[in-house]
Amino acid sequence: MGTSQMGFLFFCSILFLSASASSRNLPIIAFDEGYTPLFGDNNVFVHKDGKSVHLSLDERTGSGFVSHDLYLHGFFSASIKLPADYTAGVVVAFYMSNGDMYEKNHDEIDFEFLGNIRGKDWRIQTNVYGNGSTGIGREERFGLWFDPAEDFHQYSILWTQSHIIFYVDNIPIREVTRTESMGGDFPSKPMTLYATIWDASDWATNGGKYRVNYKYAPYVAKFSDLVLHGCAVDPIEHVASCDTAQTSESIPSRVTPLQRLKMESFRKKHMTYSYCYDKIRYKAPPTECAINPQEAERLRRFDPVTFGSGRHRHGKRRHSSRSSQTQADSF
């Protein structure tokens, strides 16, 4: 290993240690205080400590839980350990949505964890919808610098009036900034927090090529360190009420200059798909996209069809980054 590689790995280990230390200071709540089972009956298992919950998927059903309250902005987080071994077709999701209240113009902020065949890594997909803007998928997909099935790691969403930030172990991996051109496409209505595990065989792994194999069931996703730190909204009156007494220095409000460097480093190493550069889906990038020439070139090299010409090559099967395996190199 070269000197530059050793230095990079040391840098990443420092990031991980600092992130782990800060996550211990978050305002953790008991499951019953903030959540209730959503579906799956006995496949939702709350531990005796009241602070950890397991969601499982078997041939009978998946499972999920949901927050008691609606929220308008805030910081939402959980430590998650994903299922191991063969997980193709399995999706674990940690997300916010108001689809049950606004069927045709719902908002959504997603962490989706996409399972894989044995020997291949889990992938993270993030997505943002506002006002029912599902016709414009705002997906970005990443690999990770660790195996998320070996241990718990913190996954967090910061949602404010002006931006949305996705974090992994306190490292921002994506920032969505509200622009005038987005209009109502930026999430702006109260949402509920959800966590689910389910069978997405039709699309999750290589576009449905690899499906859930229930020989390996049950698939168990473990959740702990649950954080609900936001403005709760009355479901009838839709009036927001913020608990200013519950504060923590570990709750972020923005991306700091140091965190921005970490985010740029992460994206340079691990981003494998961004809708902003997808020339097959969009002849011109959606108006809110700020094109980064370095990101554009990296993705073009990774998948020259999707991010280069945007045209299929005659006689060759298209290799789409949206259904590709994560890059082999590690963070």
* Active site residues per annotation: 108, 112
Q: What does the DSSP assignment read for 237-258?
A: T--EEE-TT---TTS--S--HH
3-state secondary structure of 169: coil
Residues 109 and 96: beta-carbon distance below 8 Å? yes
Q: d(Cα 312, Cα 331) in Å, to the nearest integer?
A: 31
Residues 67 and 97: beta-carbon distance below 8 Å? no
Phi, psi of 44, deg, nearest 5: -105, 110
Which amino acid is it at 61? T
- The dihedral over CA atoms of 101, 43, 115, 113, expressed in degrees to the nearest 10, equals 40
Residues 248 and 47: beta-carbon distance below 8 Å? no
Q: Which two tokens stand for residue 223?
A: 């959740």
What's the farthest any 2 CA atoms get from each other in the chain?
63
